Amino acid sequence: MENNRSSKRTVQDAELGKAGDVRNGGISRTTPRSLSRAVSPPLKKRRTSPEEGEEESFPAEEQAKKQPCSYRRVVASPFHLTTIRSLGQNSNKDTVSLKGLLGDPLIKECWEFNYLHDIDFLMSAFDSDVRHLIKVHVIHGFWKKENTNRLQIQSDAARYPNITTHHAYLPEPFGTHHSKMMVLLRADDTAEIIIHTANLIPRDWSNMTQAAWISPRLPLLKPDAQQNNSSPRSSLPAGSGEKFKIDFLNYLRSYRAACNPLIDQLAKYDFSSIRGSLIASVPGRHSLVDDFPTRWGWAAMKETLKSVPVRQAGDRVQGGGDVDDSEKPEVVIQISSIATLGPTDNWLKNTLFEALSGSQGPKTLLSSKSKPDFKIIFPTPDEIRKSLDGYASGGSIHTKIQSAQQAKQLQYLRPIFCHWANDSADGVGTTTTTPIREAGRNRAAPHIKTFIRFANHNTKNSIDWALLTSANLSKQAWGDAQSKNNAGEPQVRICSYEIGVLVWPELFADSDGTSSGSKTGQKAVMVPTFLTDTPASHGSEKDRTSLLGEKQGSASTSGNGEEDGKGDDEKEEKSSTVVVGLRMPYNLPLQRYGLQEVPWVATANHLEPDWMGQVWRHE
C-alpha cells in the first residue's frame, strides 16, 4: 500500500519537472503538436518481401493483424518503461511520457483512475489547444468527506469546469483505490486503455522506474455486430480481446454508478485486437465457484494460468528421469511495497505462490518437481541513497521490519530477497566476471510492479509469462487465503482495487491471435530485452537455438554449426518462430541480499547521507 503521509525529515525533494513530451526519450518540442501534425496521412509505401532469413519487427498491438510469414518475426514488448528525466537518450529509447500518452488533440474524453492525483499536473499533459474541451473524469478512493486528499482534489478540480470527480466504492475499511489506469475516448471513434504503475503526481513520472501497457486503438463495433457481454466464461479463451472486454467491464461495474457512463460507451467498441488477460482486484468477498465470468486477485491469476503453456523442466530430460535443478523455472516478483504478511510464510507459499505456480495441462509427478522457485526484488537503503532522487524516492517505497512479527517476516523473506540495482558490495550471487545485462534503470528507484516467470532460473533467456500490475505484495491487494461463506462455499476476501495485464508468448504466435500455433505452425518465445522494446533483429544460429531450446528442448550442434540429425522441418520451424520482446526494468543476473542486508524502511531513520548529502528522519 502506498503512503502519502508526510514524514518529518531533513531532505529536500529534487525539483519535480514535467515528464518528457514525446514517447521516444522525452525530447521537448518547441512547436505545438496540433500545428506540426500533417493534415493528411502520407501515402503508404509498398513493402517488398523480406529476403530469406530476414526478420521483421511489429509493435505488439499490431502484430496480430499481420499475415503469417515463413521467416523469423520479432514483436516489440507489450510493456513500455516511462521516460526518466535525468537519464540520457540511450536509456530512454522506446519509453513513454505522460504528455506522450495524453498530448494527442484527438482525445475528447479521459477517465483517470489512481491513488494519488495532482490535478494541475494531469491537465498540463493534455494538448494546450483542446485541454479545456476534454471531458475529464478523476476517480479516487478518498470516500470520507473530511479527508484532506479528497478536499485537495475537489479544490483543484473546481478550477477546471470540464473535470468531474468520483470516489470509488470501498466497502473494506483497510482497502485503498490503488489501480492506475486511463481510458481515452477519441474524436476518430476509437478508444484506448492504458494500464500503468505511476501515481498521477510529478515525482512518479520523472525519476522513478514505471511502466505502462497500452492497448491498440479500439474501433467502434459495426451496428450489426453488437456483442453479448454475458457470454459464458468457457466460450472465451484467456488472452483474447473478447474475454478482456468482459473482465474489464465487470471491473468497472464494481464502481457502481460512477462508471456507468463509461461502461455504456465501451460496450460499443471492438476489443478483439487486444492480446492479454486482465488481472484485477476489487474489494469484497467473492465466490470461487459461482458462474460469474471474472475472478479477482490471486484467484484470477490461478484461473488464467490454467490456459498458459509453460516450458517444463523435463522437456529436455531424455526418456524421462529426474529434473535437473539447474533448469528449474523461476518467478521473479518485483514490487515497491510489502505489507505485513504474517509471522509465518503460510499465506505467501500456500496462497500466492501456489496461485503463481499454475500452468496449462494436467498435474503430473514431473510437473510437480518442476514448480518454480521464487525471488523478490526490493531495494535496500543503500540503493535508495544512490538513486537519482536520493532519499526523496524512498517516500514511495514501503515495508516494515521493526515489530516482532515483522522481524519474523524478514527471516523467511531474506533468503529470497534480491537487490534492485544488483551492484551491492555485500550482495550474493554475482561475480566481477559475470556478464551484466543492463536495463538502464538501476539508479531510478522502482515504483513499477512486475511478476515474471523465467523458463530457466539460471540463464533467464526466455519468459513463460509476465504481469504488469498496480498490485504490491499484500493480502489487501491479492486477497486473503481461501475461506468459506455462510453456505460453506469457498470465497476470497479482497480489500483494495488493483489492475494489471498478463501476457505470454503464445498470444502473439499467429495472425489471428490464437494461442496454439496450430493454424500456421508458428511457435512463439518471449525474451527479455534491455534498453529497447524490440528483440535483437539479427542473432547467430547459436542464439536462436538457445531460445528454442529453452522452450522446446535443446538442439545439439556440430563443430561447423550444423545441427546433428535435424531435418528440414525443424529448421523451418526455427526460422518461423515469433520472438516477442519483454522490456526489462532491472539488470540480470540478480543479486541476492547478503546476510546482514535489510530492505529499505521508510518509517525508520537513515542518518547516512545520500549522494546529495541529505539524511532521512522519521518521527
**Residue positions annotated with a catalytic role:** 178, 447
Question: Are the C-beta atoms of residues 231 and 242 closer than 8 Å to each other?
Answer: yes
241 three-class SS = helix
CB atoms within 10 A of CB 322: 10
Cell numbers for 425? 558490495
Q: How many CA atoms lie within 13 A of 522 on its CB side?
A: 29
Q: Is 449 annotated as ligand-binding?
A: yes
Q: Is 180 annotated as ligand-binding?
A: yes
Cell numbers for 346? 503460510
Q: How many CA atoms lie within 13 A of 118 on its CB side?
A: 16
257 three-class SS = helix
Q: Rounded distance, CA 75 to CA 62, Å?
A: 9
Q: For the chain, what is the radius of gyration of the CA atoms?
A: 24
Question: Are the C-beta atoms of residues 499 and 373 closer than 8 Å to each other?
Answer: no
Question: Are the C-beta atoms of residues 87 and 104 closer than 8 Å to each other?
Answer: no
Single-letter code of the amino acid located at 455: A
- CA angle (97 as vertex; 91, 101 as ends), nearest 5: 140
Q: Rounded distance, CA 125 to CA 547, Å?
A: 41
- Rounded to 10°, the helix 541-552/568-575 angle is 100
- CA angle (132 as vertex; 128, 133 as ends), nearest 5: 110
Dihedral sign from CA coordinates of 94, 100, 105, 111: positive
Contacts of 435 (CB under 8 A, 6+ apart): none
Cell numbers for 405? 512479527
Question: Are the C-beta atoms of residues 152 and 4 closer than 8 Å to each other?
Answer: no
Distances 75 to 416, 581, 582 between C-alpha atoms, Å:
32, 6, 9
Where helices occur in 254-291 by DSSP H, the ranges are 260-266
Q: What b/e readout covers 263-278, taking b as 16+ CB neighbours within 10 angstroms?
A: beebeebbbbbbbbbb
Grid cell 531474506 is found at 414
209 three-class SS = strand
Q: Rounded distance, CA 410 to CA 374, Å?
A: 15
Measured in degrees and rounded to the nearest 5, phi and psi for residue 59 equal: -60, 150
Dihedral sign from CA coordinates of 339, 340, 345, 351: negative
DSSP 48-104: PPPPTT--EEE-TTTGGGSPP-SS-EEE--SEEEBPPTTS-GGGGTT-B-HHHHH--
Distances 368 to 321, 347, 361, 550 between C-alpha atoms, Å:
13, 20, 12, 18
Binding residues for substrate: 180, 449
